[in-house]
Structure 1
């Protein structure tokens, strides 16, 4: 028998249990609508509708009648999101129907949270997963839309969580090929020394020291509509190169392809939804390794665009591979260009792990992303492409410096570096994401996490006039 997907809704039917979502503010009024038996039971258990509080309600025969979940105060709800994703695994494995007083955006958020709460990374688990509670799609939600988002987020998380021993450039290529095959897309790949012959020298320089060949993955889907190009950093493991990272900084570097994983999740959302766009996904897939052929500090490299780059730190490799990919993307003048990368520690120092900074010159795009971010609870924050910092990335002996000395404004200078390779495209945005959830939270277990994709999925139809 096929096991239902944790990212799907349950069919309506006999035996469905009631699941009440109750705020602190509405708690007393809600109690008045319940039977004396339920009121007495909840009083005995001390249920007060605190955020995440769960009370199971027995039926007269001692079975399960349903459950009540506390939705806290308005202050609580501003601080936390996806509550139902956190309580899903606290509930007995039954089918539930949600009763609530949520507005549409909050209903979408909590229902999506329920689906995302079904995620776990089980690639290396030998045990059988426990049965989980399921939910009938609440009235008023677009069930297919939410399932599409949840399934795409699961793809992103799975890719980030997979160890580099099982996910190098070749395996990332296979993941992109599987996505292309699933939705009828096309794919081409440029490998190894062919990167030099195809004028992608920075991608080659970063990946040439590894035993696993560097490559550029180029997927296309759709033949009509505006041109949308997604570029994702695919550094499958980052040792730092000859500027070797300390052990404490290397432990999470399997996630350094989080930009690639996130654009693939977004691409899956777009293709599954049948958008009328000409979609292109470009992923420079490399491993930044240490060997005799590794690029050296002080080397000067010439990019696809012709700009020269002084390598002052081999651990600032992500902007190098992205530079060639962005220059290639711009040669087709897409209507919108999105770049996503786990690029700088400076972004984490500035905004922490949960908020992803983005950079753009396009005010309308920035406004659309900011509004969508708030609406779908996908935290983003616009940062400035501050031109006064441009001299920081301009060394004495080359056009550009990949790692300015001093350490100040690291996320901004990285964005300014990439901006030099974007030409002829007005709608461009770069996202400096973390791609990782450091501590478990509702619907977001510790491990890989997509950032920015849901906000983009909500904003781009309006931006592209779809």
Structure 2
């Protein structure tokens, strides 16, 4: 589904969005008050006309002082009766955010059950950059669809097909290195992690734009993670179709960059190391020592810490071009969820100006991120006795930080490096965010780029 607004129509019903305590439109008469409407966040009041039909509706925005708690509250409008509705927004409400909420509320994953969205349609609110909002929603819908698709239909081959389809849509160049060619191309850790699976591991390399600063985005693409020989318990394996959420978010971001025209002023490269971490005779083993593209050796102390291994080779490859900015997106550690929960991904960056731009943009566009430190004092934890690096330090503390430190070892050469430890999943339904796959960080990156790469 490609989200879009309905064309303007004289028959469109008015939808007034109102803050709690604000006066209601004169056209409503006493009905809203008599029906108990209090403008609580997401509350809807349908307005009858003289013949018993619909004359319009109110949608509550909640308490203005608590607006930060109600992200994308206008997505509740998806519960309105089918038809075309014309949103009327109060002064001070961010138009683009409200319009995006209306589109995000229409998302449904219906590949295996149900029918496509058939609910209300909305005209674009006045004062909105409609093309920009459509681009944001289109990128987010792509990310959600990819994450929500189970691994039997979203293995490495399928993810490559999705990447090729997007490259064709936006006019990007794409190259894919697969199976034994990974070894010939000096991408040994991607090969080691994925060699046991029925579908061969691969490195997807997409390029768009030919002028301006260089932006390289690396997305973790573990299409399913059993944990390898350090196999996960069943409960921990249930959501592992989402372990390619970094790659899905990178593709969603690429779609946003293309559709908003941001790709016209920069050289974009998206690198996706794509594997299944499977259990078979060819599985890499605990205790193995792998040699990376960069030449650093890595002792495998847990085969369930495979994401950082494939990212390392892709980061080393990306850094060889010395991009102005390199970003890794990965569903990497449970430690990040313990620290900050599912809604607030940590990010790591040594450059204060870049980090500040990302932090400000993330809050402005309601795509929250929280800066965490590359804490040099923990470097010794990722240095084992018999190799340069340890992929799974013992002790269980600061797991997200040590993973980020591990990745930083391979990003040297990039002008600036940002790592985002995302979750990629909405555990409970919220406005505009049904339970299931969700993009994190892409809109924040898009909003911050004009300040980071002017």
TM-score (norm 2): 0.98
Match of 1:252 in 2: 239
Match of 1:154 in 2: 141
- Alignment of 1:20 with 2:20, yes or no, is no
Find the residue that maps to 2:29 and give its secondary structure.
helix
Match of 1:111 among 94, 99, 105: 99
- How far the C-alpha of 1:75 sits from its partner, in A, is 4.3
Match of 2:388 in 1: 399
* Per-residue Cα deviation, 1:18-42 (whole angstroms, up to 9, x for no partner): 111111131xxx23x514xx33211
Q: What is the distance in 2 between the residues matched to 1:424 and 1:309? A: 20
Contact preservation (8 Å) 1:214, 1:285: yes
Q: CA 1:264/1:57 → structure 2, altered by over 3 Å: closer, same or farther? A: same
Match of 2:193 in 1: 206
Match of 2:440 among 443, 446, 451: 451
Match of 1:368 in 2: 357
- How far the C-alpha of 1:88 sits from its partner, in A, is 2.2
Contact preservation (8 Å) 1:217, 1:283: yes
- How far the C-alpha of 1:6 sits from its partner, in A, is 6.4
Find the residue that maps to 1:326 and give its secondary structure.
helix
**Pairwise mapping of residues 57-456 of structure 1 onto structure 2 (< 5 A)?**
57-85=47-75, 87-103=76-92, 106-125=94-113, 127-129=114-116, 131-275=118-262, 276-456=265-445
Match of 1:40 in 2: 30
Match of 2:7 among 8, 11, 20: 11
* Per-residue Cα deviation, 1:367-406 (whole angstroms, up to 9, x for no partner): 1001101100101000000000000000011100000001
Contact preservation (8 Å) 2:220, 2:244: yes
The range that moved more, 10-19 or 247-256, is 10-19
Q: What is the distance in 2 between the residues matched to 1:346 and 1:75? A: 32
- How far the C-alpha of 1:334 sits from its partner, in A, is 0.7
Find the residue that maps to 2:26 and give its secondary structure.
coil
The range that moved more, 160-169 or 271-280, is 271-280
Find the residue that maps to 2:275 and give its secondary structure.
strand
Contact preservation (8 Å) 1:6, 1:119: no
Contact preservation (8 Å) 2:179, 2:191: yes
The range that moved more, 218-227 or 301-310, is 218-227
Contact preservation (8 Å) 2:357, 2:452: yes
Q: What is the distance in 2 between the residues matched to 1:286 and 1:229? A: 20
Q: What is the distance in 2 between the residues matched to 1:100 and 1:272? A: 26
* Per-residue Cα deviation, 1:276-304 (whole angstroms, up to 9, x for no partner): 21111100010000011111111111100
How big is the alpha-carbon RMSD for the aligned residues of Structure 1 and Structure 2?
1.2
- How far the C-alpha of 1:110 sits from its partner, in A, is 1.8
Contact preservation (8 Å) 2:223, 2:243: yes
* Per-residue Cα deviation, 1:292-327 (whole angstroms, up to 9, x for no partner): 111111111110000000000000000000000000
Query: What number of residue pairs does the alignment pair up?
Result: 452
Q: What is the distance in 2 between the residues matched to 1:183 and 1:129? A: 25
Find the residue that maps to 1:42 and give its secondary structure.
helix
Contact preservation (8 Å) 1:155, 1:265: yes
Q: What is the distance in 1 between the residues matched to 2:173 and 2:118? A: 38
Q: CA 1:385/1:416 → structure 2, altered by over 3 Å: closer, same or farther? A: same
* Per-residue Cα deviation, 1:187-225 (whole angstroms, up to 9, x for no partner): 111111111111101101100111110010111111111
TM-score (norm 1): 0.95
Structure 1, unpaired ranges of 5+: none
Q: What is the distance in 2 between the residues matched to 1:84 and 1:94? A: 16
Contact preservation (8 Å) 1:6, 1:115: no
